[in-house]
Amino acid sequence: MNPFMKKYGPWAVVTGASSGIGCALARQLARHGMNMVLVGRSVDALNRLATELHVAHAKCECRILALDLNESNSVAALLDFTKDLNVGLLIASAGFGSSGPFLDNPIEPELEMLDVNCRSLMELSWHFGNRLSKRGNGGLVLLSSIVSFQGTPWSAHYSATKAYVQTLAEGLAMELRSKNIDVLAVAPGPTKTSFADRAGMSMGSALDPQRLPPRSWLR
Ligand SMILES: NC(=O)c1ccc[n+]([C@@H]2O[C@H](COP(=O)([O-])OP(=O)(O)OC[C@H]3O[C@@H](n4cnc5c(N)ncnc54)[C@H](OP(=O)(O)O)[C@@H]3O)[C@@H](O)[C@H]2O)c1
């Protein structure tokens, strides 16, 4: 068995697997031979991914859980669904953003964002952290963002939710090291997924590698 699977296998839970970064990470895990619980609201997209992964990697077993992480009982449902599985890795990629003047945006989607980006992620980290601790090894991968590192006007609340994730992950990375649990905060810059559409953002030239500074500037 390869060292990756030995530490994090045989099962991973991937939230936000129906699209974007979570979907891309699930594809990478399948190449390592990981079985996965794929979580999201879009059942069709999850089914398509499960079929794709099974066709590409015959031994990869995927189970689908349609779940709205905005709902308060959603984490309990996920824990129940995975109770008989030997989960060694959690990837918490489910999340979304918003943009525009904070005071002008309706409050309901902001509260939903707080639930999905922070509350559910914290609950999952606590529950799976305890399961991994009993197991004696494993990993937590928490999706933060480049905007987590400072306040971001016109995306003030989204960046605040990501600051929460980044800070939680940094603290847990030290705290859980002695338990042989790796914690990674992933802080991507602008990435071409469905994210911008849902957030009402225009990433413009930030998505265009041709518009980045010349390599010589980056040395
Ligand atoms: N794209 C970027 O530029 C960027 C940059 C930095 C950080 N990030 C972070 O990366 C993570 C993944 O985003 P992405 O770029 O891959 O965007 P995406 O393509 O829109 O994917 C978001 C994922 O989150 C899931 N999700 C959203 N709301 C949900 C809910 N209420 N319950 C359950 N699942 C929910 C979506 O699934 P369903 O729609 O099926 O529910 C989808 O699978 C997010 O946490 C985002 O904040 C993205």
Q: Concatenate the DSSP letters of all residues of 84-107 into one string.
A: TS-EEEEEE-------S-TTTS-H
Of all residues in the chain, the percent with pLDDT exceeding 70 is 96
**Which backbone phi and psi does 7 adopt, to 5 degrees?**
-85, -40
Q: Are 26 and 53 in contact (CB under 8 A)?
A: yes
**Which backbone phi and psi does 29 adopt, to 5 degrees?**
-65, -40
What pLDDT digit, counting tens, does each position of 72-116 carry? Answer: 999 999 999 999 999 999 999 999 999 999 999 999 999 999 999
Q: Residue 185: beta bridge partners? A: 142
CA 46 – ligand 1 centroid, Å? 13
CA triple 167-213-25, angle to 5 deg = 45
Residue 198 near ligand 1, beta carbon < 6 Å: yes
pLDDT at 50 over 90: yes
Cα separations in angstroms, 46 against 17, 41, 95, 137, 184 = 7, 8, 16, 28, 24
- If one counts every other C-beta atom within 10 angstroms of the C-beta of residue 119, the result is 18
Ligand 1 pocket check: which of 13, 15, 19, 141 to mutate, most ligand atoms within 8 Å of Cβ? Answer: 19
pLDDT at 209 over 70: no
Catalytic one among 8, 128, 158, 195? Answer: 158
Q: Is the dihedral of CA 190, 95, 172, 179 positive or negative?
A: negative
In the Cβ-directed half-sphere of 165, how many Cα atoms lie within 13 Å?
A: 36
Q: Are 99 and 199 in contact (CB under 8 A)?
A: yes
Residue 161 near ligand 1, beta carbon < 6 Å: no
Residue 195 near ligand 1, beta carbon < 6 Å: yes
Residue 116 near ligand 1, beta carbon < 6 Å: yes
> Which structure tokens are listed for 80?
């129940």
Say what the pTM is.
0.95
State the amino acid at position 187 in one-letter form. A
Q: Is 8 a catalytic residue?
A: no
| Distance in angstroms (rounded) separating the CA atoms of residues 8 and 89 | 5
Domains, in order of start, for the chain? 3-218 (3.40.50.720)
What pLDDT digit, counting tens, does each position of 145-196 carry? Answer: 999 999 999 999 999 999 999 999 999 999 999 999 999 999 999 999 999 9
Ligand 1 pocket check: which of 195, 202, 205 to mutate, most ligand atoms within 8 Å of Cβ? Answer: 195
